[in-house]
Amino acid sequence: MNKTTQNGFTLYELMVTVLIVGVVLALGIPNMREYSQNSRMTGTANDFHSAFHLARSESSRAKTNITICASANSMTGTPTCGGTWDQGYIVFVDTDGNLQTGGVNEAILLTHPVIAEGVAMVVENNATYFSFAATGRGRQNVNGLTALSRVLMCDERGHDIAAGGRSTTRMFVATPLGRATIQSGKDMITAAMTDMGAVCP
């Protein structure tokens, strides 16, 4: 009689494989979700910080006013100031210092679209602008409007402890002189939230 070899899995091998795959997915999916949330948060904070750095360096280089403002139409052909930061923002040459685009030689230097989905921005005093003078220093209370000082960037995790003891929330800080930093220390952000009377959505 001719012997034939049968290839395949036994039921036991199949069950063990399914079990291993289930364990890997159970452990991996939550970690991937947190990684994705952290990436969105870090990207949002870094983009915001980079925009301020550009505005400050350009004001010193060009010796003119440079303004960054919230913009609800940042990605259109003629973006203007107005709206909220999560809708987008722009950096532009503000020669006449009136916090508005469209003046003579007032070029748009950077446009940023709507921020990443799932990230919310809580802005102190609902400020919508920060303007740099030709010296590279901040211009405060232009036209009676309060300049941006602190922004909380949150997601559905709220203000919780992330890996390394940092907060799941990020805080952007702009000093009156125009220095901008990103903070992630939990105690520092907790104190700021109390001072601002703010909570993460």
* pLDDT for residue 168: 93
Task: Name the least confident of 27-31, 138-142, 172-176.
Answer: 27-31
pLDDT at 190 over 90: yes
Domain annotation covers residue 146:
yes
Report how far residue 160's alpha carbon sits from residue 174's, in angstroms, rounded to the nearest whole number.
23
Report how far residue 143's alpha carbon sits from residue 56's, in angstroms, rounded to the nearest whole number.
20
* pLDDT for residue 38: 85
Domain annotation covers residue 33:
yes
Residues linked to residue 132 through DSSP beta bridges, in sequence order: 66, 138
Q: How many domains is the chain partitioned into structurally?
A: 1
Domain annotation covers residue 1:
no
The pLDDT > 70 percentage for the chain reads 90
Domain annotation covers residue 53:
yes
* pLDDT for residue 37: 85
In this prediction, residues 133-158 reach a mean pLDDT of 94
Q: Which two tokens stand for residue 68?
A: 């960054």
Domain annotation covers residue 6:
no
Q: Which two tokens stand for residue 86?
A: 């999560």
* pLDDT for residue 111: 98
pLDDT-based confidence at residue 201 (cuts at 50, 70, 90): confident
The residue with tokens 């508005």 is 100
Q: In this predicted model, what pLDDT tens digit does every residue of 19-33 receive, in sequence order? A: 777 666 666 555 677
Residue 67 has φ and ψ, to the nearest 5°, of: -120, 140
Please give the residue range of the domain that contains residue 191: 11-196
Domain annotation covers residue 201:
no
Domain annotation covers residue 46:
yes
Task: Name the least confident of 14-23, 82-91, 166-175.
Answer: 14-23
Q: In this predicted model, what pLDDT tens digit does every residue of 42-101 receive, in sequence order? A: 999 999 999 999 999 999 999 999 999 999 999 999 999 999 999 999 999 999 999 999
CATH of the domain at 181: 3.55.40.10
Domain annotation covers residue 3:
no
Report how far residue 24's alpha carbon sits from residue 32's, in angstroms, rounded to the nearest whole number.
12
* pLDDT for residue 6: 57
pLDDT-based confidence at residue 9 (cuts at 50, 70, 90): low
* pLDDT for residue 1: 57
CA dihedral 174, 179, 180, 186 (to 10 degrees): -80
